[in-house]
Amino acid sequence: MSFLLPVGITSYQAELPKVFSSNSIGCLSAIPTSINGRRWINICGIFGYIGKQNASEVVLAGLKRLEYRGYDSWGIAILADQIKINKKVGAIGDLNQALNLPKSSIGVGHTRWATHGGVTDINAHPHFSTDKSFCLAQNGIVENYQKLKDDLLKKGYKFQTETDTEVIVRLIEEKLKKTRDLKEAVRQAFLELSGRNTVIILTKYGRIIAARNGSPLVVGVNNKEIFFSSDTLSFAPFADKIVVIDNGQMVYYNGKLNVIDIKSGKSLPYRLEKIDFHSSKVDKEGYDHFMLKEIHESPYVINQIVNRAESQFENFIKAVKQAKNVYTIGSGTAGVAASQIAFYLRVFAKIKAQSVIGADIFEYYDLLSKDDLIIAPSQSGETADVLEVLEIAKKRKVKIASLVNMPGSTMTRMSDFRFMSFAGPEICVMSTKVFTSQIAWGYLLGKVISGKGKVGRENLKILSQEMERYLDAQSNHELIKKLAKRLGKSKDIFLLGKYQNFNIIKEGMIKIIEGSYIHAHGIPAGDLKHYAITLMEKGVPVVVVVSEDVAKGDVLNAVNQVKARGATVIGISSTSHPSFDHYIPVPNTGETQAIMNIIPLQLLAYYMAVELGHNVDKPRNIAKSVTVKYYN
Ligand code: GLU
């Protein structure tokens, strides 16, 4: 089995002066969290390229690497003798489509998730200015687009599309009437937009201008080329340094990279950060799907946690111990990881940690104060639900620690304590290895705080070996494949677990729902008798996770109750029990058992998705980098 090298960022003092303090979060806190109850949605991507390679090919490759973020249409614009645009609904095209465009050394691209205007070729981005002197693509939503559009219509502007994005284009044209400088017109127009928007513009004079207020924007640099993108991963193999553009900043290249403060129009010095990019190879390496490859990388990510985390723990541990309240917060799978991190803090470190999910709108409880500490695990570091809470927390001087996988993220930049998962790129929309790394980190944190860091590290090393052995044994896959086939025919699937395994069955539930689109329901074993027992009848599948811990007796008790009502019990455990109809054996790894137990559940979801013929790496209706808020 081969593994990717880790992604890592090290601070690099560039030839250019440094300005940002490491805690700088730019204008982030100035952004309203909601306007009239309307929230943002942005899960698409932008990409730009300037360099000697053929721009359309580079941009197309970049868009493909942004695909995981979700999209419904895409477009590329390049500059030849004039700007040429190729945009389409549906899957990102192959190289032939890129080659339809003339050769060029500069281009931009966009993956769109429609919010205003149908999913049509014409509504896809980029959008031309009336005189075709520039074109623009947007990530995000112009909240006040209707008012702006009405004003522009009165002034005689014509609109070709139904998008909010075209409003930005016409507004820039309007501003251009007074200032003949396009970047100044972009700046002025940007100041009038509300909502979260990040734009990229290609001009017929061979420039790219990009501005950020919400959706991520990163610039990649190597000796000869410049990349603009929504994430670092998309240009990973080609650039070795990045500049993270903060909210309220714009950037353009005219032979030299320039960063500008949008509000004042003043130039800002910026900092280049060096990235270890060996890591960023993004291919399936012989596996049928990224999901399976990424599950197989779990033992490796556990070792990364063992090797890297503790050296950075020292000051952080002091802060955790001193904090009045410790909250862990995350969304989706990271929300489950947050809950398991809190569990480990309670169990091993005796810290009264409490977990909250990002979507709970925690800030409205008005509980946060300066002596508190938040721990936020996130794959992307851009999850809007969590960022909202962190923005408020930051204002209140709450200490923030983040555990992020994607380099250069907003969450990392706004954190007092920055931890990286070092799990390498996770391409499958369903998170597997990053979840495993997050909970392994939580386990180690709990152990280190309790003064048993050495034991914790040893246990994780053993876990990593056991997990690798488990994953390498074909018989484990065959068994789970067979069960996946059966479960794929179910209407509902129940999961039971308690104590260390409660979050594990919750995560198993999420994986099954994502992969199979079948209803799954994770129940704390002790709660079964209070309500869900009504649903138990002949043949109902119940997946139960039983470990050699204090909860074992209770869980087996619950198993007997469902069994008595005819349920078909699938047991995940290091020992078989008579009430299991099907048994999935796992190695006994002691304190780290919960981390081991997630693997068969992830495999079950994987094989169900394959069995049902689903798009494994991109389940329907969900996207990976969920900078999604609800929108109405
Ligand atoms: N709101 C824009 C539209 O509907 C852009 C959405 C996006 O892709 O971020 O065109």
SS (H, E, C) 48-107: EEECCCCHHHHHHHHHHHHHHHCCCEEEEEEECCCEEEEEEECCCCCHHHHHCCCCCCEE
pLDDT of residue 534: 94
Total-model pTM: 0.75
Q: Which atom of ligand 1 is nearest to the CA of 124?
A: 10
Indicate if 343 and 427 belong to the same structural domain: yes
Indicate if 60 and 150 belong to the same structural domain: yes
Residue 89: phi and psi, rounded to 5, are: -80, 145
Is residue 509 included in any domain, yes or no? yes
Indicate if 425 and 508 belong to the same structural domain: no
Are 357 and 333 in contact by the 8 Å Cβ rule? The answer is: no
Could you count the other beta carbons within 10 Å of the beta carbon of residue 121?
12
User: What would the pLDDT profile of 584-626 be if each residue is shown by its tens digit?
Assistant: 999 999 999 999 999 999 999 999 999 999 999 988 887 766 5
Residue 154: CATH number of its domain: 3.60.20.10
pLDDT of residue 386: 92
Name the residue range of residue 344's domain.
284-472
Q: Which atom of ligand 1 is nearest to the CA of 139?
A: 9
The closest of 532, 592, 613, 603 to 570, measured between CA atoms, is 603
Q: How many domains does the chain have?
A: 3
| CA 119 to ligand 1 center in whole angstroms | 10
Is residue 620 included in any domain, yes or no? no
Is residue 12 included in any domain, yes or no? no
Indicate if 309 and 267 belong to the same structural domain: no
Is residue 11 included in any domain, yes or no? no
Indicate if 546 and 520 belong to the same structural domain: yes
Are 542 and 568 in contact by the 8 Å Cβ rule? The answer is: yes
Indicate if 310 and 263 belong to the same structural domain: no
Strands 492-497 and 519-524, sheet pairing: parallel
Ligand 1, atom 1: nearest CA belongs to which residue?
Answer: 141
Best probe residue, ligand 1, of 123, 165, 215 (max atoms within 8 Å of C-beta): 165
The strand pairing partners of 257, in sequence order, are: 253
- 102: preceding bond cis by omega (within 30 degrees): no
Indicate if 249 and 398 belong to the same structural domain: no
| CA 141 to ligand 1 center in whole angstroms | 6
Best probe residue, ligand 1, of 39, 74, 115, 200 (max atoms within 8 Å of C-beta): 115
Specify the 3-state DSSP secondary structure of 361.
Answer: coil
Q: Which residues are part of the catalytic machinery? A: 44, 624
Is residue 9 included in any domain, yes or no? no
Domain boundary (437, 472, 507) is at 472
Is residue 191 included in any domain, yes or no? yes
**Cα(552)–Cα(564) distance, integer angstroms:** 18
pLDDT of residue 20: 21
Indicate if 375 and 521 belong to the same structural domain: no
Indicate if 382 and 442 belong to the same structural domain: yes
pLDDT of residue 629: 46
Domain boundary (274, 303, 324) is at 274
Indicate if 379 and 466 belong to the same structural domain: yes
The closest of 358, 524, 328 to 442, measured between CA atoms, is 328
pLDDT of residue 97: 63
Residue 402: CATH number of its domain: 3.40.50.10490
pLDDT of residue 382: 86
pLDDT of residue 96: 64
Query: How much is the CA Rg of the chain, to the nearest whole Å?
Result: 25
Is residue 494 included in any domain, yes or no? yes
Q: Which value, to the nearest 10 degrees, does the dihedral of the CA atoms of residues 1, 443, 401, 325 take?
A: 160
**Cα(219)–Cα(230) distance, integer angstroms:** 9
Domain boundary (274, 302, 332) is at 274
Indicate if 246 and 340 belong to the same structural domain: no
Q: Which atom of ligand 1 is nearest to the CA of 215?
A: 9
pLDDT of residue 121: 93
Token pair recorded at residue 621:
């209706």
**Cα(516)–Cα(610) distance, integer angstroms:** 9
Residues of the chain with pLDDT under 50: 1-42, 277-280, 628-632
**Cα(90)–Cα(108) distance, integer angstroms:** 18
Residues with CB under 6 A from ligand 1: 42, 44, 112-117, 138-141, 163-165
Triad 370, 372, 376: Cα angle to 5°: 120
Indicate if 320 and 411 belong to the same structural domain: yes
Is residue 202 included in any domain, yes or no? yes
